[in-house]
Amino acid sequence: MESLGYLAVAFLFVLPVMPVAAVVVLLVVLVKFRLAVKARQLKPRSVLLGIGVVVACCAVLVYAIGLQDVELWLGDLDEMCMLRHHPGDWSDYESSLFPLGDKVTCGGVVYEAVPAWINPTLYVLLAAAVGCIALWAVTRKRIKAT
């Protein structure tokens, strides 16, 4: 039950900030690309960095969507089971921030609040962002070395 306090802090403070920050970064990158295209100064390596940043922002948005589905029941799990049509019959509760998960066992049935697509999508987006940024760093290093 101690980890529920951390989830509450994440839900109350981090969740509202994450989508806003991701959208702001996304808009800044898009405006910068638009200005670079107008000035005809767009370089292939900057495209890699831009794609990496956009994909990382999408990963933040997917994480925020998943975090919204985490039910932070700090108190009465019996009430949660009642909402799931198993009054007063809970036996286990687990939640985690990474990978996102929120499971409660009511009447022998396990309910998962986080949609199944959230974690795989998050992993793919994070891998793509790291890959793009790593390629950008390698090409930048090679260009500076020559």
Mean predicted confidence (pLDDT) in 78-100: 73
pLDDT at 103 (0 to 100): 81
Rounded CA-CA distance 100/14 in Å is 14
Which amino acid, one-letter code, is at 97?
L
pTM: 0.68
pLDDT at 12 (0 to 100): 60
CB 36 within 8 A of CB 42: yes
pLDDT at 1 (0 to 100): 45
Residue 77, pLDDT > 70, answer: no
Name residues whose C-beta falls within 8 Å of residue 122's C-beta, 6 or more positions apart in sequence: 59, 62, 63, 66, 99, 100
Per-residue pLDDT of 27-71, as tens digits, reads 787 787 777 777 777 677 777 888 888 888 889 888 888 887 776
Which amino acid, one-letter code, is at 132?
C
Q: How far is CA 100 from CA 47, 57, 131, in A?
A: 31, 17, 22
Q: How many CA within 13 A on the CB side of residue 83?
A: 10
Mean predicted confidence (pLDDT) in 13-19: 66
Q: What percent of the chain has pLDDT over 70?
A: 69
Which amino acid, one-letter code, is at 103?
K
How sure is the predictor about 130, in pLDDT bands with cuts at 50, 70 and 90?
A: very high
Question: Mean pLDDT of all residues in the chain?
Answer: 76
Mean predicted confidence (pLDDT) in 136-145: 74
Q: Which residue has the higher pLDDT, 57 or 78?
A: 57
How sure is the predictor about 139, in pLDDT bands with cuts at 50, 70 and 90?
A: confident
